Amino acid sequence: MSITPDPAAQALLPLLEEQNTSISFTRFDYDDAYRLGSAIMARAAADDLKITVAMSFGQQRVFHAARPGTTADNDEWLAKKFRVVARYNAPSFLISTKYRARGLDFNQATGLPISEYVAAGGAFPLRVNGSIIGAVGVSGLVENLDHDLVVWALEAARAAGA
């Protein structure tokens, strides 16, 4: 299915591409994962956000927490977003935005089943020295806010020396 190309999505692409290439760590371990996940949850508690947070190193889940008002559906969304990150080596919001910018539906254009993949913002690759070691994700808000919360936490962790 073709939809109308989205000029706002086209305008957002340079920022998302820059985030994708610039957010990387020189090291990131289990303790860093706990601190990152906990920072996201602290912000969610302070702002009363109904979100689920997950983080993985490869296939291993290294952090998971959910706030009141979330359901198992949030976990399913995270799994689908993480598959997009793993397949494209890029944030799920960047992939979503690329398809919207071209006026395409992600699942129809790729042939990937919506039961397994969803290009919606909120999952971001964890990189150490440019190599992807896993992903961090948020589900529960609209896609740009899920993405922004993850980017905020990653940038804060990087500034703190994680």
How much is the mean pLDDT over the chain? 96
The per-residue pLDDT for 5 is 87
Domain extent, residue 122, equals 7-159
The closest of 6, 2, 1 to 100, measured between CA atoms, is 6
Nearest in space to 153 (alpha carbons), one of 120, 124, 113: 124
CA angle 134, 140, 38 (to 5 degrees): 55
Domain presence at residue 18: yes
58 backbone dihedrals φ, ψ, rounded to 5°: 60, -125
Q: How many domains does the chain have?
A: 1
* Rg (the chain; Cα; Å): 15
68: phi then psi, degrees, rounded to nearest 5: -55, 140
E-assigned strand segments in the chain? 52-57, 60-66, 123-128, 131-139
The reported pTM is: 0.95
In a domain, 32, yes or no: yes
Residue 2, domain member (yes or no): no
Q: What is the pLDDT of residues 32-68, one digit of tens each?
A: 999 999 999 999 999 999 999 999 999 999 999 999 9
Structural domain contains residue 1 = no
CATH for 78: 3.30.450.150
